[in-house]
Amino acid sequence: MNMGRAHWLYLAPALLLLGVFLVYPSVETIRLSFYGPRSDTFVGFQNYIQAFTSRPMLIAFRNNLLWLVVFTLFTVGMGLVLAVLLDRVRYEAIIKSVIFLPMAISYVAAGVIWRFVYAFRPVVAPQIGLLNAIVVALGGQPVGWLIERPWINNLALIAVGVWVWTGFCMVVLSAAYKGIPKEMQEAARIDGANEWQVFRHVTIPFLKSTLAVVTTTMIVFVLKVFDIVYMMTNGAYDTDVIANRMYNEMFQFNNYGLASAIAVVLFLAIIPFLVINIRRFRTQEAVR
Amino acid sequence: MKATRILKRLPLHLLIITLAVIWLAPSLGLLVSSFRPRQDLLSSGWWTALVTPSYWSKFTLANYREVLTQQGMGRAFLNSFIITVPTTLLTLAIAALAAYALAWMNFRGRQFLLMMVIGLIVIPLQMTLIPVLRMFNVLKLSGSFPGIWLAHAGYGLPLMIYLLRNFFGALPRELFESAFIDGATPFRAFVKLVLPLSVPVLASAGIFQFLWVWNDLLVALVYLGGFEEVAPLTLKLSLLVGSRGQDWHLLTAAAFISMIVPMIVFLSLQRYFVRGILAGAVKG
Amino acid sequence: MTKRLVVGLLLAGLVGGLAQGAVTIMVLWSGDELAAFQKVADAFQAQTGITVRVESVGRDLPTILATRVAAGNPPDLAGMPNPGQMAEFVARGALIPVDDLVDLTQFPTAFVDLATVNGKVYGIFISADLKSLVWYNPDALYAEGLAPADSWNELLYITETLAARGKVPWAVGLESGAASGWPGTDWIEDIMLRTAGPELYDQWVNHEIPWTHPAVKRAFELFGAIVRNKAYVYGGTTGALSINFGDSPAVLWDPTPGAYLHRQATFIKSFIAGAHPELDLDRDVAFFVFPPIDPKWGTPLLGAGDLISAFRDTPEVRAFLQYLAGPEAQAIWCGALGKLATNVNVDPSIYPDQLTAQAAEILKGAEIFRFDASDLMPAAVGSGAFWKGILDYVSGVPLDRVLQEIEAAAQAAY
């Protein structure tokens, strides 16, 4: 619809808040990224060079990439599977609450919970960590889940992320799934399609835009992932991620310049996903 | 007939229940631990307490008693509500208006604006704290609840707008055309048509904003501070961890107390995630 | 600035006891520590009528404080995370010197020097912890026919003897959430003091010698000789890395002791008491001083402390600083918590138990005292690369690579 300038009335409150709380600080961040640790000396691109070349940052890039693939795959995948499967059982509400539960837990509490999962005790002592108790019961040696690099500890951290965020994907996808007219699926079944074909040719196309939204959200979350890593390892044993480096440089090491440069790098990393999204919105508008 | 049906659906049930058990185990550990004395937490696994009937008499409410009778606990609960509820409503209202404009109004630069808004999701809020707090000092907003409402709304808006814009955009065009033929204004169409149809997505977006604000500690500490009159529940929780990380037995109980409210919100909103609201509309 | 805060609170409709004559102080303490500090504040208020508003922000203090300072909104006073962070605030021009506000002759010069930047004093230590202690369970150790060690060789003898009997000599816990690794830095510092001497230690703190220096390397190797030996440490290296520092000493008092020795500062006493409420601390728990290694350097002591600095100079802030520095405040604070007083006029009878009094006595008699090096270094090294380096080294990364990485961080940070 075309309605003169009225759209600005709808947008004004949002744009004002976004400008104040996100745009203005971002501009400030970009400026500071060219200055030294105390923001008093201009250093050109030096912070960016450090952000792209120092070993801790390279490890953080590698880990974020691992998170990007594994975390996104599992949260979106499991969220989708659960949204579809739970629609078929009568105890849907209970299971949904169970999967959603971790979303309601603050990260301080989540840290304690996972201590009781990953805790390590020598084989001679009673295990207080669930995973090692299982390993020992099966006759194995207890494992330092957060210490064994490079795979076990990173995957152990990603597992915490998946545990927390699958609930988000499930809730959003489930809301969309319930929007699919039952008649469409029924019609496909009457035409002789099996469940997989219904899923593939009716459900997925219908959920496409929601899947894109959820995936984008998870990707953005991966780029910003911080709490889990900070509280469990703070990046030790090569588990560091970009946002944790930024936080440490900013608030622990007082290096505002480098921290700002890392934040700008994060922002640049999202651009490809933005472009994909905008294309998708154009298509959506063309077909409706 | 019925037996074969159940048998056929057995793998489905097994799969769902296995997933649920895996998801529940860590939280169950927390719950069981919250009823155990401190020294037991570190000497045996929580599951052994659960499967050893002779242990059951050792379960205690002492941890909960200690947490709940802490000084200022009631005030912290209240503060969390004062922070969270207005923030959630404010964010949803502002995001819905903006998403509506971005989905259904034609104007130059709309796609660009949308891209900017989505792009803002990636900005780490840690980087905004210093410039915003500096501004708050000038505007005399630091230490005040309105300040933190606005701040949380600002941080939550990009994702909310994104979620809502996606949903609004998928509504069929005919819906609006028929409404306008009936003489509705765009605002009337928004209130009478778009909002009722969007209840599921509004409910889920609202829940997430509620949770993030409820569980936030950093933003509250920076903009409100740690004084008892303003500090939220999460600060009490974090102080229980202790400056050197001791006292997990108290933390387990406190974690459960702080989870209760978000769970109630989720359960009470769950009935809005139902089939039919949108399905009917799309058909029409 | 205080006015702005007041207006802010007014806006929220939350006026409560905000009269003229108040000071705000931001601290990270909680629980017993916060309660003890509140007692100090109450006693001060009873004497002067000045209200002290204590703002406890917990373990996020470094973040919150740095943000408030950078935004021009600091509290009147604050507990500093460490002297290194204090120096950083001084460099940003945020702190006021206290030389003329407080009678500094009440303190041993070591504690005054530690708070001195460019010839001016920017903070006062209200209490100290003694770090160079090895804790043991007397019953368990004597039952093995062993006794506290007076020298490094004796310490190694105890270690080897126990290991030869199939027992685990040491309980080590390096895990501490986001701060994991710090307990190991204390080991390195104690060993450095005993093998390289205080002068080289100071040069190391100031990065006047590189991390790849043979003295630093030797300290890591001696540390590694115990902690990297799977037979010497409860749970092996994975145990040392995974077990929380506060939980780790508990096994010394298990019915069948899981280990016999534990190197940690005075504050660990409360963790031992928490894990084993049945213990009589003065009878069942004991420590000896981390023994000398190179006889030339004797037995230097390593410590740390609670440092308070001021961001604003008002009459109320001055009064509170003077009070905190005095023997009365320290008697309340240290008496309640079993911390060691820094004010030389504090009466030793305030200490709650013999263990604390004994530690205070040892600290008082120190010939050479040095502050925790990691607390003095720039945070990127002292609270970053050094911690990570300890964890890397214990988990098996070659020492040369560990030291090179810390050196790289140091070169960027100093």
Q: Would you mind telling me the total number of residues written for chain B in this entry? A: 284
Beta-strand (E) ranges in C168-298?
261-263, 286-289
Please identify among residues 141-160 of chain A the ones whose CB lies closer than 8 Å to any CB of chain B: none
* Residue A176, C-beta contacts closer than 8 angstroms, at least 6 positions apart: A83, A206, A207, A210
Check: CB of residue A181 under 8 Å from CB of residue B282: yes
Structure tokens at C161: 């003897």
At B132 the pLDDT is 94
Residue C395 to residue A235, Cβ atoms within 8 A: no
3-state secondary structure of C25: strand
* pTM (two decimals): 0.91
State the pLDDT confidence band at B276, using cuts at 50, 70 and 90. Answer: very low
Instruction: Domains for chain B: give ranges and CATH numbers.
Output: 2-60 (no CATH), 71-283 (1.10.3720.10)
A150 upstream amide cis, omega within 30 of 0: yes
- Give CA separation, A151 vs A117, A146, A158, A248, B17, in Å: 17, 10, 10, 23, 28
* Residue B217, C-beta contacts closer than 8 angstroms, at least 6 positions apart: A106, A108, B232, B234, B235, B237, B238, C60
Beta strands C22-27 and C51-56 are parallel
Residue that has been written with the tokens 């037979």 in this structure: C231
Q: Would you say residue A5 lies in a domain?
A: no
Kindly tell me if the per-residue pLDDT of C244 is higher than 80. yes
pLDDT digits (tens, 9 = 90+) for C191-225: 999 999 999 999 999 999 999 999 999 999 999 99
Residue C235 to residue A122, Cβ atoms within 8 A: yes
Which numeric CATH code is attached to C2-125+306-348? 3.40.190.10
Structure tokens at A119: 């805790």
- For the segment C125-146, the average pLDDT, to the nearest whole number, is 96
Q: Which domain holds residue A78?
A: 43-287
Nearest CB to B44 within list A15, A85, A126: A126
List phi, psi (to 5°) of B273.
-85, 55
Q: Which chain A positions have a beta carbon within 8 Å of C380's beta carbon?
A: 249, 252-253, 255
Q: Which chain C positions have a beta carbon within 8 Å of A251's beta carbon?
A: 62-63, 66-67
Residue B162 to residue A216, Cβ atoms within 8 A: yes
Q: Which amino acid is at B7?
A: L
Residue B215 to residue A178, Cβ atoms within 8 A: no
Beta-carbon contacts below 8 Å between A and C: 79
Least confident of A219-223, C72-76, C285-289: A219-223
Q: pLDDT averaged over consecutive 10-residue blocks of chain A (288 residues)?
A: 75 95 95 92 94 93 96 96 91 90 84 88 91 94 92 96 94 84 86 88 88 90 90 93 94 92 90 81 73
Q: Which amino acid is at A272?
A: P
Q: Which amino acid is at C45?
A: Q
d(CA B162, CA B169): 10
**Mapped to the 3 state alphabet, what secondary structure does chain B carry?**
CHHHHHHHHHHHHHHHHHHHHHHHHHHHHHHHHCCCCHHHHCCCCHHHHHHCHHHHHHCCCHHHHHHHCCCCHHHHHHHHHHHHHHHHHHHHHHHHHHHHHHHHCCCCCHHHHHHHHHHHHHCCHHHHHHHHHHHHHHHCCCCCHHHHHHHHHHHHHHHHHHHHHHHHHCCCHHHHHHHHHCCCCHHHHHHHHHHHHCHHHHHHHHHHHHHHHHHCCHHHHHHCCCCCCCCCHHHHHHHHHCCCCCCHHHHHHHHHHHHHHHHHHHHHHHHHCCCCHHHHHHHC
- Cα R_g (chain B), whole angstroms: 24
Nearest CB to B146 within list C4, C11, C53: C11
Structure tokens at A189: 């079944």
List phi, psi (to 5°) of A232.
-95, -40
Q: Which amino acid is at B50?
A: L
- For the segment B208-235, the average pLDDT, to the nearest whole number, is 91
At C148 the pLDDT is 96
d(CA A38, CA C393): 32
Terminal CA-CA length for chain C: 32
Q: How many helices (H) and strands (E) does chain C have?
A: 20, 11
Least confident of A114-128, B257-271, C131-145: B257-271
Kindly tell me if the per-residue pLDDT of C6 is higher than 80. no
Between C216 and B175, the higher pLDDT residue: C216
Q: Would you say residue A14 lies in a domain?
A: no
Kindly tell me if the per-residue pLDDT of C15 is higher than 90. no
Residue B166 to residue A13, Cβ atoms within 8 A: no
d(CA C259, CA C257): 5
Least Cα distance to B88 among B216, B212, B225 occurs for B212
Q: A126: distance to nearest CA of chain B, Å?
A: 6
Q: Interface partners of A (3+ CB pairs, < 8 Å)? A: B, C
Q: Would you say residue A37 lies in a domain?
A: no
A233–C contact, CB cutoff 8 A: yes
Structure tokens at C64: 């919150």
Q: Which chain A positions have a beta carbon within 8 Å of C63's beta carbon?
A: 251-252
Q: Would you say residue A272 lies in a domain?
A: yes
Check: CB of residue C140 under 8 Å from CB of residue C262: no
3-state secondary structure of A226: coil
Q: A182: distance to nearest CA of chain C, Å?
A: 50
A234–C contact, CB cutoff 8 A: yes
Q: Would you say residue A112 lies in a domain?
A: yes
Least confident of B46-50, B237-241, C232-236: B237-241
Which numeric CATH code is attached to C133-299+377-413? 3.40.190.10
Give the H/E segment covering residue C303. Answer: strand C301-310
Residue B226 to residue C64, Cβ atoms within 8 A: yes
d(CA B272, CA B206): 12
At B283 the pLDDT is 32
Q: Would you say residue A222 lies in a domain?
A: yes
Tally of domains within chain A: 1
ipTM summary value? 0.88
Sketch the domain layout of chain C as residue ranges. 2-125+306-348, 133-299+377-413
At C86 the pLDDT is 95
What is the sign of the dihedral through the CA atoms of B202, B205, B207 and B213? negative
pLDDT digits (tens, 9 = 90+) for B180-209: 888 888 888 899 888 988 888 888 889 889
Q: Work out the number of other CB atoms within 10 angstroms of the CB of residue C373.
A: 23
Q: Would you say residue A23 lies in a domain?
A: no
CA B95 from chain centre, in angstroms, equals 16
Q: How many helices (H) and strands (E) does chain A have?
A: 14, 0
At B279 the pLDDT is 37
d(CA C56, CA B236): 10
C133-299+377-413 shares the fold of C2-125+306-348: yes
- CATH number of the domain enclosing A167: 1.10.3720.10
Degrees, nearest 5: CA angle B129-B134-B137: 120
d(CA A105, CA A167): 12
**Mean pLDDT, chain B, integer:** 86
Residue C384 to residue A253, Cβ atoms within 8 A: yes
Ordered DSSP codes for C41-93: HHHHHHHH--EEEEEE-GGGHHHHHHHHHHTT---SEEEES-HHHHHHHHHTT
What does the buried/exposed string (b/e) look like for B187-205 if buried means 16 or more CB atoms within 10 Å of the residue's CB? eebbeebbeebbbbbbbbb
pLDDT digits (tens, 9 = 90+) for B4-41: 777 788 889 999 999 999 999 998 998 999 999 887 88
Residue that has been written with the tokens 């006493």 in this structure: C269
Residue B259 to residue A243, Cβ atoms within 8 A: no
Residue that has been written with the tokens 């409820």 in this structure: B214
d(CA C103, CA C223): 40
- For the segment C367-375, the average pLDDT, to the nearest whole number, is 94
